[in-house]
Structure 1
Amino acid sequence: MDIKTWNAYKYALIVAIGGFVFGLDAAIISGTVRYIASEFSLSDIQIGTVVGAPSLGAIIALFFAGKAADALGRKKTLIIVAVLYLFSALMSAMATSFMMLTIARFIGGLAFSSLSLASMYIGEIAPAKQRGKLVSANQFNIVIGLLAAYFINYYLVTHVSENSLLFSPSTIWRTMLASELIPALAWVILLFRVPESPRWLSMKGQHDQALVVLNKILPQQRAIEVQAEIQQNLNEHKDTESVIQQLKLLFSSPMKTVFAIGFIMAVVQGITGMNAILFYAPTVFEQIGFGLNASFQQAIYIGITSVVFTVLAIFFIDKVGRRPLLILGLVAVVLSHAACWYGFSNATYSVNQQTIDKLEEVIDTTPLTAQIGKQFEDDVSFKEMLASNYDANTLRLNEGHIIEAAISVNPMLILIGILAFIAAFHISIGPIMWVLFSEIFPNSVRSVAIPMFALVTSIASYLIQQFFPWQLATFGAANTFLMYSMFGLIGLVLLWPLLPETKNKTIEEIEGTLVGQSKRNSAPSEQEEASSGAPAA
């Protein structure tokens, strides 16, 4: 690897550290749910509010992220985002109430715009042949962050001690949340070592500085050629500098294919259930009957699967291409959720003497003795019985133990289904959406389009996070996974005819294919319309 290629990798990987911080922030909350719910006596909706607060913050931030990136530059905006992560982690660990914790998590969510900003920066600085790998590096760092969070949670929950300041049942969740402070601080420091985006510099008329940056990552002649391409593209769209003008162009007829691809991918990534498993991993595994500590251990398998298949995505994305990976991945998403639905729909819950014997050491079983001999055909009716016999706080801390003792299910089918979904997501829609976002949007609408569609996926993700505890309690695990499977199927059907292949193409070449083709297709109809409206000779 020559020095220029190494520079491109170095800058991209530093920016992609934000992905690690995001992954850690997103997954670490999964280990705190039961402790926070018990400490602050939270309802299902309040649990969803704490867990979903970052996505709500991301929704708000994305209204301003693109404009900030255009006004301040990609680099300065990323530094601000990194500082927000740092502040949020500190405030979360010190929270003394449900409201304070929610606000702290919300502030952290303002930094979730780092995903779209990192994709924007990396897409603008990466050479065309390396762009897929480098944008995917952001997704890779996300899953490394997820894995780190699951390991941290598992280690802490298996070392709970009443006599420990940091590991006691009342403080362990604070230690979990505080673990984000170190990587967030490191990211703030390292961001000062990356250059500004050459496309942003050109947009601001700083052509000499742009060429200096391009010369750091490309051979001299190629750097001059790329700068000329950037300048030509900016000149062609110099009348679309304002947000309103960019939005009008994005919603125009020539952009309809680009818009449709961006919107569908954004919705599908958020609504197929990734954030339900990501943010509630131990809770999900408790539904299978793995018990408390085992559920934290199973969550590690999610992290490992995420890392392995993200690595495969990075390896194949520039070889196989974006389209084949995305289509095959969505097929796997549909089938894996269907397997989970089938497994949960055949689960039963029995209360017998064996159930009582298993639970006597962890909970008062007196309320269950009247239920001996009863069998429940779904988790909803079983949990309703438990709620009528135990107070909410007792259930929050012990529901996993009770389900483990009472459930009759094929755990391997559901476990394989969940891990297959994680694998499918991370080799397809997870990284590929951000790669395509960095490629399909022309420079003329890029700073509006990427944050806008990141906003769409954030809204979808927020709804999944906010309502998953309520959804699980109301509809049950089987129907919840069935819904995710149907959402994936709809996305697959809609994307199949629209999605192009973009590997090894510059942003300007992709624009010529997608937008240029739309313009050519619309030209004959406009001429026909003009001729049909002309008076007869």
Structure 2
Amino acid sequence: MEERPQLALSSRSGTKSLFDSARNLDEKLSADNPAEAPGGKKENYNKYVVFCTLLASLNSLLLGYDIGVMSGALLYIKDYFELNSVQQEVLVGILSLATLVGGLMAGKVADAVGRRKTMATAAAIFFVAALLMALSPSYAVLMAGRVLSGLGVGFATISPVYTAELSPPGSRGSLGSSADLFVNIGVLLGYVANFALSPLPEWLGWRLMLGVGAVPSVFLACAVLVMPESPRWLVMQGRLSPAKAILLKTCAGNKMEAESRLAAIVDDPEELLEPRRRRKASNVWKQLLLPSAPVRRMLLVSLGIHFFQQASGVDALVYYSPTVFAQAGMKSRTSVLGMTIAVGVTKTLTILVATIWLDSLGRRPLLLASATGMTIALTTVAVTFRFLHVGTKVDTSGAEHASVAVVVIAMLAICGFMTSFSIGFGPTVCVLTSEVFPLTLRARAMSLSIGMNRAISGAVALTYLSLAGAITTSGAFFVYASIALASIGFVFFVVPETKGKSLEEVCKYFGWQPDDLRQEKV
């Protein structure tokens, strides 16, 4: 039997022979056994990959809890500190703006010290922020804790990059979507904490709601100790032996498949020569801010889907769902918080559908179905709130019964929106962003995309109450429905399908070549 070529991993002086043997191995594996070639359809859900993915997703759990718990805690904080609507909007929206800053910092840190240490930094920041908010004696201190929490969220956004770089092509979508699954679990846990702690005295309840967020960060800090580094980041550092050792584990000990994936990563021998000098010379931000044609197409896809994800108003419902339910006619705080749990359960269960289907149906079909459902649901919410507004002007028993029916429809439409969002736009956005960029740009491109995401999220959170006050709640949701409608066209005409392709193959789809980075520097 003909011996297959092996990768030389000894030193930088062997880079050229490594590159040649890698290419030979890649071509031979593709010809002899397509299922084992990079980008093949073989799925690999080995325990090691799933274990690492779940640990990385604890970052997302922290983000989700912070979002969910604030929506309910705000009901008590606004009374405790006597906040007006603008102060409430700033308290809620500042998280997204701080996340923008943290996200932009995270890309550079992740490239410098690695994905794993960046996630450990996020855990430490979350821990301090949760305690600061829980013990805050004033609105100003509470705001400081909220800003610090946003910085932690920004650093935590590197976890989808880590998952994408560790996962096999055939299961990358499902494993990558676990980040959004854990965000939703975190949101649900935040809602449950609100409900469970609401009977406590007002001065104590909201403090415990916020302080409990410090607990998961301790688990994440411990988890980082047993997590491996991203093999692609190790390759970028020229550390091929540990990269191959990790790939062997992610391939369940299949040496041939590990070598094939390493061959796909090591696409340019010069990327392994003096990596520190080359990273500094590459000027990654210049590549992103003054992009070539392939990078422009990547940025259009990534920034576009992040824009539409948040501009469709999801955070208006996540952050202000208790307020929206109260506007719809729900009177007691207990019933309002109970309804938020129902929404959270709906959203969390639905994300499991996307987790199962992302690698079978693909990204585009789920995004199109999601955008269509969101448009219908938001339009229904807008129409029902229009009827509720009219109903409050008519003091008759018939109008009262009609209003009850409209309230039920509004609640179902809100659950329908969360369901539609969780099928596609929730989990797929970060998966796509982690797939479309080359290794040298991936971490900072994710930072830039998350910056867009958080900027729009902050704009929604900072303006919802004012927007609803200016053009009514119905008018606000009509605006969000129009944006969701526009997202259907964007996905149909701009977003490519990436399922089953290796990260390197996805980059080549956009026209990116290994020499592009070097040509920019000449």
TM over 0.5, yes or no?
A: yes
Paired position in structure 2 for 1:49: 90
CA change 1:329–1:4 in 2 (3 A) is: closer
Tell me the amino acid that sits aligned with residue 155 of structure 1: A
User: Where do 5+ consecutive residues of structure 1 fail to align?
Assistant: 161-166, 356-374, 376-403, 521-537
Paired position in structure 2 for 1:524: none
Stretch moving more, 500-509 or 214-223: 214-223
CA change 1:4–1:426 in 2 (3 A) is: closer
- The correspondence for 1:464, drawn from 460, 464, 478, is 460
Matched-pair contact (CA < 8 Å) for 2:364–2:491: no
Matched-pair contact (CA < 8 Å) for 2:122–2:156: no
1:419-498 to structure 2, matched below 5 A, reads 419-498=415-494
- The correspondence for 2:225, drawn from 175, 192, 195, is 192
Q: Residues 268-315 of structure 1, C-alpha deviation per residue, up to 9 Å, x if partnerless?
A: 111111111111221111111122221111101111111111000001
Tell me the amino acid that sits aligned with residue 345 of structure 2: I
Give 1:130 deviation, angstroms: 1.4
Tell me the amino acid that sits aligned with residue 167 of structure 2: A
Q: Distance in 1 between matches of 2:488 and 2:170?
A: 27
Give 1:408 deviation, angstroms: 6.4
C-alpha RMSD of the superposition: 2.6
Aligned-partner SS, 1:502: coil
Tell me the amino acid that sits aligned with residue 265 of structure 2: I
Q: Residues 404-442 of structure 1, C-alpha deviation per residue, up to 9 Å, x if partnerless?
A: 999666012211211111011111011000111111111
Matched-pair contact (CA < 8 Å) for 1:19–1:114: no
Q: Distance in 1 between matches of 2:352 and 2:45?
A: 23
CA change 1:346–1:406 in 2 (3 A) is: closer
Q: Distance in 2 between matches of 1:472 and 1:85?
A: 32
Paired position in structure 2 for 1:207: 240
Q: Please tell me whether residue 264 in structure 1 is matched to residue 304 in structure 2.
A: yes
Matched-pair contact (CA < 8 Å) for 1:132–1:435: yes
Give 1:345 deviation, angstroms: 1.1
- The correspondence for 2:264, drawn from 195, 213, 229, is 229
1:384-423 to structure 2, matched below 5 A, reads 410-423=406-419
CA change 1:126–1:353 in 2 (3 A) is: closer
Q: Which runs of 4+ in 1 moved over 6 A?
A: 236-240, 351-355, 404-409
CA change 1:424–1:222 in 2 (3 A) is: same
- Which is greater in Rg? 1
Aligned-partner SS, 2:266: helix
Matched-pair contact (CA < 8 Å) for 1:14–1:187: yes
Give 1:353 deviation, angstroms: 8.9
- The correspondence for 1:180, drawn from 209, 213, 221, is 213
1:13-24 to structure 2, matched below 5 A, reads 13-24=54-65
Q: Residues 368-393 of structure 1, C-alpha deviation per residue, up to 9 Å, x if partnerless?
A: xxxxxxx9xxxxxxxxxxxxxxxxxx
Q: Distance in 1 between matches of 2:402 and 2:80?
A: 27
Q: Please tell me whether residue 275 in structure 1 is matched to residue 315 in structure 2.
A: yes
Q: Residues 151-182 of structure 1, C-alpha deviation per residue, up to 9 Å, x if partnerless?
A: 1111222xx2xxxxxx1022211111112121
Q: Distance in 2 between matches of 1:444 and 1:190?
A: 26
Stretch moving more, 87-96 or 169-178: 169-178
Matched-pair contact (CA < 8 Å) for 1:289–1:405: no
CA change 1:243–1:118 in 2 (3 A) is: farther
Give 1:111 deviation, angstroms: 1.2
Paired position in structure 1 for 2:30: none
CA change 1:168–1:505 in 2 (3 A) is: same
Stretch moving more, 453-462 or 288-297: 288-297
CA change 1:351–1:229 in 2 (3 A) is: closer
Stretch moving more, 234-243 or 177-186: 234-243
Q: Please tell me whether residue 289 in structure 1 is matched to residue 300 in structure 2.
A: no
Q: Residues 201-256 of structure 1, C-alpha deviation per residue, up to 9 Å, x if partnerless?
A: 11111111111111111121211221222122574698973487323434211223
Paired position in structure 2 for 1:387: none
Q: Distance in 2 between matches of 1:353 and 1:508?
A: 64
CA change 1:350–1:421 in 2 (3 A) is: closer
CA change 1:136–1:419 in 2 (3 A) is: same
Q: Distance in 2 between matches of 1:405 and 1:112?
A: 44
1:54-453 to structure 2, matched below 5 A, reads 54-157=95-198, 160=199, 167-218=200-251, 219-233=254-268, 235=270, 241-242=279-280, 245-250=283-288, 251-291=291-331, 292-347=333-388, 348=390, 350=392, 410-453=406-449
Give 1:491 deviation, angstroms: 2.0
Give 1:34 deviation, angstroms: 2.0
Tell me the amino acid that sits aligned with residue 500 of structure 2: N
Aligned-partner SS, 1:496: helix
Paired position in structure 1 for 2:53: 12
Aligned-partner SS, 2:361: coil
CA change 1:280–1:7 in 2 (3 A) is: same
Matched-pair contact (CA < 8 Å) for 1:349–1:408: no
Q: Distance in 1 between matches of 2:498 and 2:77?
A: 45
Paired position in structure 2 for 1:393: none
Tell me the amino acid that sits aligned with residue 473 of structure 1: G
Q: Distance in 2 between matches of 1:234 and 1:494?
A: 37
Aligned residues: 464
CA change 1:321–1:350 in 2 (3 A) is: closer
Matched-pair contact (CA < 8 Å) for 2:44–2:170: no
Q: Please tell me whether residue 501 in structure 1 is matched to residue 497 in structure 2.
A: yes
Q: Percent identity?
A: 26
Aligned-partner SS, 1:319: coil
Tell me the amino acid that sits aligned with residue 256 of structure 1: R
- The correspondence for 1:40, drawn from 81, 90, 100, is 81
Tell me the amino acid that sits aligned with residue 90 of structure 1: L
CA change 1:354–1:151 in 2 (3 A) is: farther
Matched-pair contact (CA < 8 Å) for 1:233–1:508: no
TM-score by length of 2: 0.84
Matched-pair contact (CA < 8 Å) for 1:74–1:197: yes
Give 1:507 deviation, angstroms: 0.3
Matched-pair contact (CA < 8 Å) for 1:268–1:487: yes
CA change 1:258–1:350 in 2 (3 A) is: closer
Matched-pair contact (CA < 8 Å) for 1:343–1:409: no
Q: Distance in 1 between matches of 2:495 and 2:311?
A: 19
Q: Distance in 2 between matches of 1:266 and 1:62?
A: 14
Aligned-partner SS, 1:196: coil
Q: Distance in 2 between matches of 1:100 and 1:243?
A: 41
